[in-house]
Amino acid sequence: MQYGKHYILECTVEQNDMLTNLEGIKAFFVSIVKTLHMTPVSECVSHVFPGSNGITAFQVIAESHISIHTWPEYNYFSFDVFSCKDFDDGALDALVHQNFPIAKKVSQVIHRGTLMMNETGLLEAPTTTPTTPISSL
């Protein structure tokens, strides 16, 4: 890992109750921070959309951020964690499964840092961006 690790996830769920449960999502974020040994720097910021009750929530952590966007009308959510320190993406994946009744998912981990610094300036990294799919159901 050079500049950060970015866990990106898209899911559909069997039941959408959690997708409209702001307190449940906040508790989910707290469990992520605790499990991955992250450092919260603010309270979770959120917005509940009128009509669908979809939620956007964002947690700033010293290491970067955690975010989720839900569309309960489609039984769908997108979620990501970006961190400048390494973390156990398997443990994060397990937390997702503990908190959401996953029907289908696509996830990947991107190792950030396409440009590298040296004493003379910027050097381009290899032309391929390393990505590691975690799973796809």
Q: What is the pLDDT of residues 31-47, one digit of tens each?
A: 999 999 999 999 999 99
Partner residues linked to 59 by β-bridges: 66
The phi-psi region of residue 83 (left if phi > 0; otherwise alpha if psi is between -120 and 50; otherwise beta) is beta
Q: In what order do the strands lie in the sheet with 102-112?
A: 45-48, 55-61, 64-71, 76-83, 4-13, 102-112, 131-136
Mean pLDDT of 52-78: 97
Token pair for 23: 């307190």
pLDDT tens for 68-121 read 999 999 999 999 999 999 999 999 999 999 999 999 999 999 888 766 544 445
Q: CA–CA separation, 53 vs 25, rounded Å?
A: 13
Residue 24 has pLDDT above 90, yes or no: yes
* Degrees, nearest 5: CA angle 72-73-74: 85
The pTM (predicted TM-score) of the whole model is 0.83
In CATH, what is the architecture of 4-136? 4-Layer Sandwich (3.60)
Token pair for 48: 């509940």
Residues with catalytic function: 64, 69, 84
Domain ranges in the chain?
Answer: 4-136
Determine the residue type at 7.
Y
